[in-house]
Amino acid sequence: MSAIPLLSCRGLEAGYGASQVLFGLDFEIRPGEVMALLGRNGMGKSTTIRTIVGGLRPQRGEILFDGRPIQAARADHIARLGVAIVPEGRQCFPNLTVREHLVAFADRRNGVAEPWTLERLYGLFPRLAERADHMGNQLSGGEQQMLAIARALSTNPRLLILDEATEGLAPVIRDEIWRCLALLKAQGQTTLVVDKYVEKLLPLADRNLILERGRIAWQGSSAELDAQREVWHRYLGV
Residues 46-105 that bind ligand ATP (CB under 6 A): 46-47
End-to-end CA distance of the chain: 33
Nearer of residues 19 and 95 to ligand ATP, judged by Cβ: 19
Instruction: From 13-21, 101-109, 117-125, 225-233, give the range in contact with ligand ATP by CB under 6 A.
Output: 13-21
Nearer of residues 132 and 236 to ligand ATP, judged by Cβ: 236
In the set 6, 7, 9, 21, which binds ligand ATP (CB under 6 A)?
21
How many chain residues interact with ligand ATP (CB under 6 A)? 11
Nearer of residues 121 and 148 to ligand ATP, judged by Cβ: 148
Smallest distance from the beta carbon of 35 to ligand ATP, in angstroms? 15
Residues 36-55 that bind ligand ATP (CB under 6 A): 39, 41-47
Q: Is 24 exposed, middle or buried (0-12, 13-18, 19+ CB in 10 A)?
A: middle
Could you list the residues that contact ligand ATP (CB under 6 A)? 16, 19, 21, 39, 41-47
